[in-house]
Amino acid sequence: MGVLRKFMEAYAVIETGGKQYRVQQGDVFDVELLDLEEGASVEFDTLAISNGSELTIGAPLVEGAKVKASVVENLRGKKIYSFKKKRRKGYRRKIGHRQELTKIKVESITA
């Protein structure tokens, strides 16, 4: 039995809003709110980048590698409820939260 090697798509790992995202060209996803208008362009530094066959990991960033994306829309996420209760004490607290998000689309990954 031989080893089957499948060619992977190019991808990059970016960080924004304290979170890391693995992105490919054409991906559309939500990130923490960016202070940008719809249609604006944004550039991210990369923590790691792959051209499909080899992976380059930065320390902490990969030199010269950028991910260009555009803002699709600013929106609010799904409502999350936090509920606290202490049994037999009559203590109940319910609070809701909706996170402000920005939907972005990855336009290009350059190494």
Task: Report yes or no on 3 lying in a domain.
Answer: no
pLDDT score for 2:
54
Task: Report yes or no on 80 lying in a domain.
Answer: yes
The structural domain count of the chain equals 1
Helix or strand or coil: residue 89? coil
Task: Report yes or no on 88 lying in a domain.
Answer: yes
Mean of all residue pLDDT scores within the chain: 92
Region 25-44: mean pLDDT is: 96
Which tokens in the block code for residue 37? Answer: 């208008």
pLDDT in tens, 54-75: 899 999 999 999 999 999 999 9
Query: Nearest Cα to 69, choosing from 102, 101, 104, 45?
Result: 104
Task: Report yes or no on 6 lying in a domain.
Answer: no
C-alpha separations of 73 from 1, 22, 43, 61, 69 in Å: 49, 20, 16, 28, 12
pLDDT band at 6 (very low <50, low <70, confident <90, very high): low
- Torsion angles phi and psi, residue 94, rounded to 5: -125, 130
pLDDT in tens, 99-110: 999 999 999 999
Task: Report yes or no on 54 lying in a domain.
Answer: yes
pTM of the model: 0.82
Task: Report yes or no on 103 lying in a domain.
Answer: yes
